């Protein structure tokens, strides 16, 4: 299934998660399996890769004051996929997925 993932561009140009697992780097064409042991204080524990139905998340800034840039990528998600209907202000429909593969940057 095709979905969209918002990632942060690190200073070295690589891509990584926004919040949970920030130290990791993600590469195109590699299938990743979600880890369930990465809780993050202040966030609900929802194991899996968080992806959206469309490249739209108005509640998340694309550029931070510290210079961090965030970019949308098209991804393929597989395995167990759970839909979550969120308010439109949070992008609407999004998913948590067991597996994810980065396809391309938008």
Tens-digit pLDDT profile for residues 64-85: 888 889 999 999 999 999 999 9
This prediction's pTM: 0.86
pLDDT at position 62 over 90: no
What is the CA angle 53-35-26, rounded to 5? 65
Rounded CA gap, 39 and 54, in Å? Answer: 25
Residue 46 in any domain: the answer is no
Rounded CA gap, 72 and 8, in Å? Answer: 9
Residue 98 in any domain: the answer is no
* Residue 45, pLDDT score: 61
For the stretch 28-53, pLDDT in tens is: 999 999 876 655 666 666 678 999 99
Residue 42 in any domain: the answer is no
Quote the radius of gyration of the chain (alpha carbons, Å).
13
Residue 94 in any domain: the answer is no
Full residue range of the structural domain in which residue 7 is found: 1-35+70-88
Residue 55 in any domain: the answer is no
Number of domains in the chain: 1
Residue 63 in any domain: the answer is no
Which of 36, 40, 38, 41 is closest to 79 using CA atoms?
A: 36
Residue 105 in any domain: the answer is no
Residue 43 in any domain: the answer is no
pLDDT at position 63 over 90: no
């Amino acid at each position: 299934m095709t979905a969209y993932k918002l990632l942060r561009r690190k200073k070295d140009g690589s891509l990584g998660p926004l919040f949970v697992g920030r130290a990791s780097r993600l590469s195109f064409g590699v299938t990743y399996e979600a880890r369930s042991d990465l809780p993050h204080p202040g966030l609900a524990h929802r194991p899996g890769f968080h992806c959206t139905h469309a490249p739209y998340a108005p509640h998340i800034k694309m550029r931070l004051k510290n210079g961090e840039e965030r970019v949308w990528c098209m991804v393929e998600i597989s395995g167990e996929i759970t839909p979550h209907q969120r308010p439109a202000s949070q992008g609407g429909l999004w998913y948590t997925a067991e597996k994810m593969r980065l396809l391309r940057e938008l």
